[in-house]
Structure 1
Amino acid sequence: MIGDRAYSGEKNIQFADEHDFLLISRLLPITANGSHNLGDKWHYNKDACMMVCPHGVMAYRKAKQNCGNQSKVMTYYMDTNICRTCPLREGCYRPGAKSKTYSVIIRPPEHSSQLKLEETEYFQQRVKKRYMIEQKNSELKNKHGLARSWSNNLAGVRLQGIITIFEANIRRLVKLINEKNGKKD
């Protein structure tokens, strides 16, 4: 199944695994790379299990937190007394702030497996075909009126989709028949 980045959520990846099919959908950049506003200047001290700032000061506390979209982050807390006098505080510490934190996304196993899948040659070839799907969606919405619903219920929207796709296919068939017979539109 091919989808855009909106389909690369944890539940969709789990569903694909459970039903034994591949989900060709890139992960959102924030999920794949994390959100490090200071780049790779921060580093992880594995002995203390804490993050260390670019100036070499270690966090004094950490806490696991849930974000709104079900992803989890590990938040590391820094001593603001040290941050106030740090020579590297520009762009890192906001004057007057009561706390300084640094958060790292905790990637679930599903996202790790999806990242490995993204590196495969099969994934790279299949994801290149995504633009064709988007072209057809754009045609259905812009040329055939699927951008706006005729109805306010699901059955009506489903019927509109069926009719619109049928119309697009009939037009394509007529165009192919005319091309085969040497006629112009």
Structure 2
Amino acid sequence: MPGAPPFRDAKRSAEARLSGALDGACSVEVSHALSDAQRGTILAIDDVMFREELRYTRAELEERSHRPGFTCFLLSLEGKPIAYDYGYDDDEPGAFYSDSAATLIERRGVGSPLSALEAIYCYGRGYRRVKLSTEERDEVGRALRRYWERFGFTVISTDEDDNIVMVMELTTEAVVGLHGKYIA
């Protein structure tokens, strides 16, 4: 089996794939600190895509952006931000916590390449797993747990509020598979 693709190459391939799918120039910006404009963009996307109890406040987003390992992938179409995915070091050593992701353009293959890029990035940085918290279904009935299972995430716990914690082991085989399915 060939090795995992370098992140830089995967990013270029994802931008090309997304540009074709969305019929316009796409670019992915990777940031380890958020500007005021980037924070505003994320909050604006959240206002459209998440119900109120799932939205972070500006202060909460600011706090998260200062956590160790913070990394944000911001996707733009023709220079206009349309999606993001961000996370940071989990409390568990060797794990990255994928905190939040959203896209203004749904059902066009936008979120999957961003999630795959995040996994490839984490693998290249030496993380051994990616964790996230989700729910079985969102308010419009989308099967979120099943969505994440497509990437190789498995359930490790469920709490009394039906929050589901999932984990994906970052093996060479896993990231090569994600690259082939969602980026190449």
TM-score, normalised via structure 1 length = 0.21
Higher relative contact order (CA 8 A, sep 6+): 2
TM-score, normalised via structure 2 length = 0.21
Greater strand proportion: 2
Greater helix proportion: 1
